């Protein structure tokens, strides 16, 4: 059957199926008694003024509510048995207050919005000030959401304390912006090897070949080449909390964290499949 004959009977129908094909073909000449199974589709009701998106991306849920902190630097921590552990010291400014609770009925998902770092009123825009004044909280610079499976025990204006959410020995996921290093070459950015430095070599730190000639006649997407390095959001997972100092209001986390001292960090419980995150 020619393709033109199929086109006059088939028309695309939007559906919410997790398949590689964004639309399913609904044909008038197809019957239910087919030797092969058809994809089960769920119809989507659309308004005339509503835009239709073919792909639906589900946001990832957190293992629990977290908070924000400020990186102070690194140091060596001596455990009681004498072992030296490299740790990053994280401090906390005024903030970590619940500014909004989003529910599935009002926003389509359950989440807790947390504010951090108090600033002067003139540092924020009027929409930002209006949002915080509606919640009855102090003006804060940073607002972040933690999408949760349940919202029991949270209320607007509630202050989150690190010692109440975490304890020593817990594993956390820390997110932050890495240090920007500007435009760098392939050796520093991708750990390429350099060429010979002597015996007449003229290729020391050059990138080298980036592809074949006639075939394919182009550079493949994703080819590692020189470019801007750093300055991107990074998450380091399953870091251990070594020490919580309530007097100094700091916490020591094992290992290195993204960014330089003074950088904003997002600390959340580590997502462990089968323990606090369902397998499916």
The list of the chain residues with pLDDT below 70 reads 1-59, 280
Q: Average per-residue pLDDT in the chain?
A: 81
3-state secondary structure of 37: coil
Question: Alpha helix (H) ranges present in the chain?
Answer: 3-7, 126-135, 162-165, 186-190
3-state secondary structure of 151: coil
Quote the pLDDT of residue 232: 95
Quote the pLDDT of residue 7: 44
Quote the pLDDT of residue 58: 38
Quote the pLDDT of residue 8: 44
Cβ–Cβ contacts within 10 Å for residue 23, how many? 14
Q: Which one-letter DSSP state was computed for residue 254?
A: E
Quote the pLDDT of residue 3: 43
Quote the pLDDT of residue 171: 94
Contact 156, 98 (CB under 8 A): yes
What is the per-residue burial (b if ≥16 Cβ within 10 Å, else e) of 35-61?
A: eeeeeeeeeeeeeeeeeeeeeeeeeeb
Cis amide bond preceding 216, omega within 30:
yes
Nearest residue to 238 (alpha-carbon basis) of 259, 258, 253: 253
Tens-place pLDDT, residues 3-28: 444 444 444 444 443 444 343 333 33
Q: Which residues contact 134 (CB under 8 A, 6 or more apart)?
A: none
Quote the pLDDT of residue 50: 47
């Amino acid at each position: 059957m020619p393709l033109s004959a199929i086109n006059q009977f088939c028309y695309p129908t939007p559906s919410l199926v997790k398949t590689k094909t964004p639309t399913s073909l609904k044909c008038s000449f197809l019957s239910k008694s087919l030797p092969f199974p058809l994809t089960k589709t769920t119809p989507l009701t659309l308004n005339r003024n509503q835009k239709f998106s073919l792909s639906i991306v589900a946001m990832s849920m957190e293992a629990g509510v977290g908070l924000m902190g400020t990186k102070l630097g690194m140091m060596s921590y001596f455990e009681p048995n004498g072992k030296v552990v490299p740790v990053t010291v994280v401090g906390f400014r005024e903030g970590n207050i619940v500014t909004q609770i989003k529910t599935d009925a009002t926003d389509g998902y359950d989440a807790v919005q947390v504010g951090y770092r108090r600033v002067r009123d003139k540092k924020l825009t009027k929409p930002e000030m209006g949002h915080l004044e509606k919640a009855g909280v102090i003006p804060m610079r940073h607002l972040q959401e933690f999408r949760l499976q349940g919202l029991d025990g949270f209320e607007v204006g509630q202050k989150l304390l690190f010692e109440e959410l975490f304890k020593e020995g817990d594993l956390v996921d820390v997110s932050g912006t890495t240090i920007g290093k500007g435009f760098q070459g392939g050796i520093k950015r991708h750990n390429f090897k350099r060429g010979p430095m002597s015996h007449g070599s003229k290729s020391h730190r050059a990138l080298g070949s980036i592809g074949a000639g006639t075939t394919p006649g182009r550079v493949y997407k994703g080819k590692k080449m020189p470019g801007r390095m750093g300055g991107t959001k990074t998450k380091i997972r399953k870091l251990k909390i070594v020490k919580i100092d309530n007097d100094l209001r700091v916490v020591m986390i094992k290992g290195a964290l993204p960014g330089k001292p003074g950088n904003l960090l997002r600390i959340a419980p580590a997502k462990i499949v089968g323990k606090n995150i369902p397998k499916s």
